[in-house]
Amino acid sequence: MIVIENLKKNIGETEILHDITFTVKDGEILGFLGPNGAGKSTTMKILTGFWTPTAGKVTINGLDVQADALQIKQKIGYLPETVPLYDDMRVYEYLRWIAEVRGIEPNNIITRIKTTAEACGLQKVIKKSIEELSKGFRQRVGLAQAIIHEPEILILDEPTTGLDPNQIVEIRNLIKHIGRDKTVIFSTHILSEVQATCDRVIIINNGNIVGQGTAQELTQQAGSREIIYVKIKGPREQVFTMLKNFPDIEDIIEKDRETDDIFGYEIKPVLGIDVREQLSKTVMRNNWSILEFNRKLMQMEDVFRELTK
Amino acid sequence: MDKKYFNKIYILAKKELMGYFNSPIAYVFLAVFLIAGNWLFFNIFFIQAQATMRNYFVLLPWIFLFLIPAVTMRLWAEEKRSGTIEFLLTLPVTDWQVVLGKFIGGLFFLITALILTLSIPLTISSLGSLDSGPVIGSYLGAIFMGTAYLSLGLFISSLTKNQIIAFIGAIAASFIFFFIGNDFVVTTAPQILAPFLKALSLGTHFENIARGVIDTKDIVYYLSFIWLFLWLNKSVIESRGWK
């Protein structure tokens, strides 16, 4: 179990993490969600022992990340955000070197490289020099080095950033597959990823935890909330002013534009109030028209936007 | 500190050597080092026609001044620039092990370079009778001095992300430590400082050993110099998360 208590981190004068407390159960896949610059990478750098926290404590199975650094590092596989690799090595050389540093028995190294390369789909490029690899393969090599020693805990910092949609699905499946018997913490700002892969989600913003639970719980918390999408034909300024002054509407976002006088809006009404009838009547009264109208419950994406505003 | 501890250092050092020899850098450095050294030396050698390597070891500190910063410049700066440092320091190794691994990787390279210069004493002894005492002393001195440059250069590399800055910084720092013991500096500086300058200079101690006189004073000097900069290096690496 990973226990993070009152974690604080300042870099210079700036506070990156304010007060982060959470736990991760064994075998859980935890999604770490937040906008860029929220403190995801910082938290991960502290978890892996690369940075020391300004205040607070991180323990993994009762061992302190600072005091028992070596034992902890042995248990963790880490893929940093930028996937730094030694470009001048060949994939095979690199993995063998990692296996040696990780202290894998010399007799097992070759088998371990084989199984890892297979799990990460690296067989075709195993003899290539790392600098020749495409981004997708680099990511796989990064994952391979993180799992070669069969760690209990896998920490992946934005493992799917910069990949094409097919590669994203592949890497995601790989994480799911690897994560069956490991504790995985991975960060992302892609929301569908969290829904597709994680058991639990923590949303972080400006160095604070702003929400946590399963994807379902989080959407349910916000679930009684509804969002109305409406596409109105009418002079833009006037329509917008009308919506703005409309009673019982909390928030409006101009979502899209079809022509100069057709715009789509996302409207968040006050909790528990159905504004649809009133809204359509008002539009009619102004001689504008409603071209589309639909009501949806809040999705993960909306929860995220709401919490990290 | 058991066998495992040193084994890790050896594995880390091996990576640095792979880094040199997987790319053409190492071969270019070695070639330039050997050609420049041999050419400059044999130019004078055949004019003087004396079976001695003294001139070579007058030259060597100056060649080292460029060779060794070139060897050390990438060791930390490149890890910092490419971000691999984050990954390196989250491996199950201590900061000391990483520093020593890099240092020993560089040392292997230095010793390889020195072994390749053995063609010079072999050539000379086939032409005349070479007094082996000063030659052995000078090689020993060269290893000590080179290692001192190495630890200084490695430390400077840990201060920056930029290899060029690491290179130039290391040349400048090495030059200062080498040159402060020079007669020119010592005679122009205030007299009170003279013994300090001589005692601090990498060059003075090298001359002592190169004469074939192995004094504990010189050995202690070099070992403390090397240790100091390795320790400073470790402190820089350790302080990564303090900012």
Same domain? A79 vs A205: yes
Residues in chain A: 309
Same domain? A62 vs A206: yes
Confidence of residue A222 (pLDDT cuts 50, 70, 90): low
CATH at residue A250:
3.30.70.3190
- Which of A172, A189, A214 is at the close of a domain? A214
Same domain? A64 vs A160: yes
Residue A78 bridge partners (DSSP): A155
- Out of B18, B87, B242, the one facing A52 most closely (by C-beta) is B242
Contact yes or no for A295/A222 (Cβ under 8 A): no
pLDDT digits (tens, 9 = 90+) for A27-44: 889 998 888 888 888 999
Measured CA to CA, the distance from residue A4 to residue A21 in angstroms comes to 5
Interface check for B240 against chain A (CB to CB < 8 A): the answer is yes
Interface check for B243 against chain A (CB to CB < 8 A): the answer is yes
Residues of B in contact with A98 (CB under 8 A): 91
Q: B30-48 burial, b if ≥16 CB within 10 A, otherwise e?
A: beebbeebbeebeeebeee
Q: How many domains does chain A have?
A: 2
Residue of A nearest to B24 (CA): A88
| Maximum alpha-carbon separation in chain B | 61
Which residues constitute the domain of residue B214? 3-241
- Least reliable range by pLDDT among A92-96, A147-151, A254-258, A298-302: A298-302
Interface check for B128 against chain A (CB to CB < 8 A): the answer is no
> What pLDDT score was predicted for residue A259?
87
Domain assignment present for residue A31? The answer is yes
> What pLDDT score was predicted for residue A38?
85
Long-range contacts formed by A81-84: CB under 8 A, 24+ apart:
A81/A41, A81/A157, A81/A158, A81/A161, A82/B83, A83/A138, A83/A139, A83/A141, A83/A142, A84/B82, A84/B83, A84/B84, A84/B85, A84/B86, A84/B87
Partner-chain contact B86 A49, CB within 8 Å: no
Tens place of pLDDT for every residue, chain B, 243 residues? 578 889 999 999 999 998 888 888 889 999 999 999 999 999 888 888 888 888 899 899 999 999 999 999 999 999 999 999 999 999 999 999 999 999 999 999 999 999 999 999 999 999 888 888 889 989 999 999 999 999 999 999 999 999 999 999 999 999 999 888 887 888 888 888 888 888 888 888 888 888 878 888 889 999 999 999 999 999 999 888 664
Percent of chain A at pLDDT exceeding 70:
97
> What pLDDT score was predicted for residue A258?
87
> What pLDDT score was predicted for residue A225?
66
| CA dist A308 → A20, A253, B30 (Å) | 15, 16, 56
Measured CA to CA, the distance from residue B210 to residue A42 in angstroms comes to 52
Same domain? A192 vs A266: no
- Give me the sheet containing A289-297, strands edge to edge: A249-259, A262-269, A226-233, A289-297
Residues of B in contact with A101 (CB under 8 A): 8, 11-12, 91-93
> What pLDDT score was predicted for residue B156?
96
Residue A270 identity = V
- Give me the sheet containing A153-157, strands edge to edge: A76-79, A153-157, A183-188, A29-33, A200-205, A208-213
Q: Which two tokens stand for residue B59?
A: 């030259």
> What pLDDT score was predicted for residue A223?
56
> What pLDDT score was predicted for residue B165?
96
Task: Tell me how far the alpha carbon of residue A99 is from its chain's centroid.
Answer: 29
Mutation for testing the B interface, residue in A88, A105, A145 having most B CBs under 10 Å? A88
Interface check for B77 against chain A (CB to CB < 8 A): the answer is no
Same domain? A55 vs A140: yes
Residues in chain B: 243
Domain assignment present for residue A43? The answer is yes
Same domain? A134 vs A260: no
| CA dist A184 → A1, A7, B197, B241 (Å) | 11, 19, 58, 24
Domain assignment present for residue A157? The answer is yes
- Which of A182, A214, A246 is at the close of a domain? A214
Interface check for B239 against chain A (CB to CB < 8 A): the answer is no
Measured CA to CA, the distance from residue A186 to residue A77 in angstroms comes to 11
Confidence of residue A298 (pLDDT cuts 50, 70, 90): low
State the average pLDDT for chain A.
87
Helix (H) or strand (E) holding A55: strand A55-60
What is the distance in angstroms between the Cα of A69 and the nearest Cα belonging to chain B? 8
- Least reliable range by pLDDT among A67-76, A212-221, B31-40: A212-221
Same domain? A87 vs A181: yes
Residue of A nearest to B89 (CA): A50
Instruction: HSE, CB side, 13 Å, CA atoms: give it for residue B198.
Output: 14
φ, ψ at A44 (rounded to 5°)? -70, -40
Domain assignment present for residue A221? The answer is no
> What pLDDT score was predicted for residue A213?
86
- Which of A214, A236, A263 is at the close of a domain? A214
Task: Tell me the ipTM for this assembly.
Answer: 0.87
> What pLDDT score was predicted for residue A297?
66
- Within 8 A by CB and 6+ apart from B65, the residues are B149, B171, B174, B175, B178
Same domain? A28 vs A127: yes
> What pLDDT score was predicted for residue A163?
79
Domain assignment present for residue A219? The answer is no
Which one-letter DSSP state was computed for residue A134? Answer: -
Confidence of residue A224 (pLDDT cuts 50, 70, 90): low
> What pLDDT score was predicted for residue B64?
93
Interface check for B1 against chain A (CB to CB < 8 A): the answer is no
Closest alpha carbon to B146 in B208, B65, B221:
B65
Partner-chain contact A80 B86, CB within 8 Å: yes
What is the distance in angstroms between the Cα of B239 and the nearest Cα belonging to chain A? 9
Closest alpha carbon to A243 in A258, A232, A259, A227:
A232
Same domain? A56 vs A123: yes
- The chain A residues in contact with chain B (CB within 8 A) are 11-12, 45-46, 48-53, 69-70, 73-74, 76, 78, 80, 82, 84-89, 93, 97-98, 100-103, 145
Residues of B in contact with A88 (CB under 8 A): 18-19, 22-23
What is the distance in angstroms between the Cα of A142 and the nearest Cα belonging to chain B? 10
What is the distance in angstroms between the Cα of B95 and the nearest Cα belonging to chain A? 11
Confidence of residue A93 (pLDDT cuts 50, 70, 90): very high
Mutation for testing the A interface, residue in B80, B87, B88, B100 having most A CBs under 10 Å? B87
Task: Characterise A10 by phi-psi region: left (phi > 0), alpha (psi -120 to 50), beta (else).
Answer: beta
Q: Model-level pTM?
A: 0.83
- Out of A50, A74, A80, the one facing B241 most closely (by C-beta) is A50
Percent of chain B at pLDDT exceeding 90:
59
> What pLDDT score was predicted for residue A127?
94
Place of tokens 């040199």: B20
Closest alpha carbon to A156 in A39, A23, A41:
A41
pLDDT over threshold 70, residue A13: yes
CATH at residue A210:
3.40.50.300
Which residues constitute the domain of residue A45? 2-214
| Maximum alpha-carbon separation in chain A | 82
3-state secondary structure of A54: coil
pLDDT over threshold 80, residue A191: no
pLDDT over threshold 60, residue A76: yes
Partner-chain contact A78 B4, CB within 8 Å: no
DSSP B59-114: HHHHHHHHHHHHHHHHHHHHHHHHSHHHHHTTSS--HHHHHHHHHHHHHHHHHHHH
Partner-chain contact B92 A101, CB within 8 Å: yes
pLDDT digits (tens, 9 = 90+) for A112-162: 999 999 888 899 999 999 999 998 899 999 999 999 999 999 999 988 887
Partner-chain contact B94 A51, CB within 8 Å: no
pLDDT digits (tens, 9 = 90+) for B97-112: 999 999 999 999 999 9
Measured CA to CA, the distance from residue B25 to residue A132 in angstroms comes to 19
